[in-house]
Structure 1
Amino acid sequence: MKVVLVCSYRLPRMIVTGLSRFFAYAGYWLNSKNSQTVLTNLKLCFPALEKRERRTLARQVVAESALMYGEVVDAWMGSKQEIESKIFEINGQNILEECRQAEKPIIVAVPHIGNWEYFWHWLQLNYTAISMYSPAKFDLLDEVMFKARTKFGGKPFATDPKGIMGLLRALKKGGIMMILPDQAPREGAGVYTPFFGYPAYTMTLLHKFIGKTGAQLLFGSCIRLKDGKGFSINIEKADFPFEKREIDPFNLAMNQQIEKIIERNPEQYQWSYKRFKRQSNGITPYQ
């Protein structure tokens, strides 16, 4: 696995992107499991769209996702200079700086849109960045991932109780925490909350972190620019009152803000993720 990543990193980007596009489109036209998941998610989240419109959006999703492999390879293997050269715009950094002046913990919720690996790199290059970390299934891949996510000073914490306690301490000491709020949590760690109008098992952890630390909540995204050559880092305030709020209204408002972020660039969202796989009736919408 590591050899494949190194070879991909050293190959001309045009070749890597071309191969990624070939396999991505082949999977779409052959109706792969991945493309079925994309189409199912689009049908659940955009029921007002006609079938033809969903197909058009699905092809756009495939085109964007085909860029991900090469981008992630560059993110994991690239130097500081290479990473910084890909970040063309930074919008809302003043919001983050204002929060730092308040001397309260800060949590940035970053949905699976664009390329969140570059948002993490930007954060760890500029701040004391902390996050949660689940090891990859393969040891060699995990080694590469962990090295990438710590090489610019960032500190990931394990998702076990010891790691959670360490993360809370680091947050209270001034670390800026990045969290992926639209990831389906393990059983017992979430509640059902509408996401684009469909029930989604949504994490309670973010709500608990804010309750325990009094952290300020921001939202972030790293959006791929139209020419495919770089990214735009975006930071915005939570558009809802999040302090001392009960879990159900908190999660509903959080999901609604994530929806707004997605609606700006729906083709860049990770629709291949089975966000609705766990349902209260035990019936999955996926084949």
Structure 2
Amino acid sequence: MKSFIVSIGICAIWLIALLPLSIAHKLGAFIGWILWITNSKKRKISEVNLRLCFPDYSDDEINRIVKKSLKALGKTYTEMGMSWMWPIPKVHKLITHIEGEEYLQQALDENNGIILIAPHLGNWEILNHFFRTYLFMTVMYKTAKIPKLDKFIFDTRKRVDVGLVPADREGVMSLYKILENKGVVAVLPDQQPRIKSGVFAPFFGQKALTGKLIGEMASTTPAYLLCCYAKRMSDGRYSVVLKPANDLVRDPDPAIAATALNKSIEQCILDCPEQYQWSYKRFRTQPETNINFYQ
């Protein structure tokens, strides 16, 4: 049954890929509106997260961002067809602005390796298309439980010539080896890790279990720390934004490194908060076991 559902989903992505991007975006905005109007779980989680992160915001401000973020999330869904199926040169033409290209050039010139820090902001799949013209990067890949889905995701990402390593101990060791050889790795920094792989650090003033991997790699290698995201512009195309991360991410103290990492992510999010994935339970695990923000 799960395999059948996956087949239907893949067919839907192929069909959406046939649409002009403007129509796909309208469909995505409609999906977001449905998530809003039905008072969905994603809306409730988004509201909780935004109230925690922006306690001074009024109800109207919170509602405005939640509604926009759900529409942005819907667009992210309907952009999968474009990101995964369109000819690569056609996708690349949608990247019409680059902010901070000089930081990428500096990282390449230093030739000490690069750690790309890519939060769930805007369309992170577009980054694969952008970076392939400058470098070869390797990302950790979490295997999907359904083989058909796993193969589909693997093949669509591999077509843009991205290195993929498993999200396990072996994969982590591969990333270290790549950095030792002055290569490029990309890490999604804003998902909750396992307890033993993380440390609690403030994220918009709230305690968030934050992965230690980036800090550990940064403290043991001279790799350039570069935050990156692709924000959706009003014309439906994309601006890739590149920013150096806080250098305290290199601190050997995991708590200091994680705090600096989260501060760097916050600065990215504040550029376009309505395009951040607020529907993820970022504060699900707390040091006080009796706290559950998402009841």
Separation in 2, partners of 1:82, 1:188:
42
Residue 57 of structure 2: aligned partner: 49
Residue 278 of structure 1: aligned partner: 285
Q: Secondary structure at the match of 2:250?
A: coil
Task: Pick from 153, 158, 168 the counterpart of residue 150 of structure 1.
Answer: 158
CA deviations 1:69-100 (Å, max 9, x no partner) are: 12122111121112211111122222122222
Task: Pick from 199, 205, 208 the counterpart of residue 200 of structure 1.
Answer: 208
Separation in 2, partners of 1:233, 1:141:
28
Give the gaps of 5 or more residues in structure 1.
Answer: none
Separation in 1, partners of 2:242, 2:77:
24
How large is the Cα RMSD of the aligned pairs?
1.7
Separation in 1, partners of 2:19, 2:244:
40
Aligned residue runs from structure 1 range 236-255, under 5 A? 236-255=243-262
Residue 217 of structure 2: aligned partner: 209
Task: Pick from 266, 269, 273 the counterpart of residue 266 of structure 1.
Answer: 273
Q: Secondary structure at the match of 2:25?
A: helix
The letter of the residue matching 1:48 is D
Task: Pick from 143, 147, 168 the counterpart of residue 160 of structure 1.
Answer: 168
Shift of 1:14: 4.8
Residue 97 of structure 1: aligned partner: 105
The letter of the residue matching 1:87 is I
Residue 190 (1) aligns with residue 193 (2)? no
Aligned residue runs from structure 1 range 218-237, under 5 A? 218-228=226-236, 230-237=237-244
Classify 1:62/1:211 alpha carbon distance in 2 versus 1 (closer, same or farther; 3 Å).
same
Aligned residue runs from structure 1 range 49-88, under 5 A? 49-88=57-96
Shift of 1:16: 3.6
Q: Secondary structure at the match of 1:178?
A: strand
Answer yes or no: is the 8 Å Cα contact 2:13–2:78 preserved in 1: no
Classify 1:75/1:56 alpha carbon distance in 2 versus 1 (closer, same or farther; 3 Å).
same
CA deviations 1:173-223 (Å, max 9, x no partner) are: 232111111111123110111100011000001111123333221111111
Q: Quick check: 67-76 or 210-219, which moved more?
A: 210-219
Residue 177 of structure 1: aligned partner: 185
TM-score under structure 1 normalisation? 0.93
Answer yes or no: is the 8 Å Cα contact 1:40–1:286 preserved in 2: yes
The letter of the residue matching 1:190 is G
Q: Quick check: 47-56 or 134-143, which moved more?
A: 134-143
Shift of 1:12: 4.3
The letter of the residue matching 1:86 is L
Q: Secondary structure at the match of 1:168?
A: helix
Q: Quick check: 64-73 or 103-112, which moved more?
A: 64-73
Count of paired positions: 286
Q: Secondary structure at the match of 2:270?
A: helix
Separation in 2, partners of 1:286, 1:105:
39
Give the gaps of 5 or more residues in structure 2.
Answer: 1-8
TM-score under structure 2 normalisation? 0.91
Answer yes or no: is the 8 Å Cα contact 1:125–1:152 preserved in 2: no
The letter of the residue matching 1:200 is A
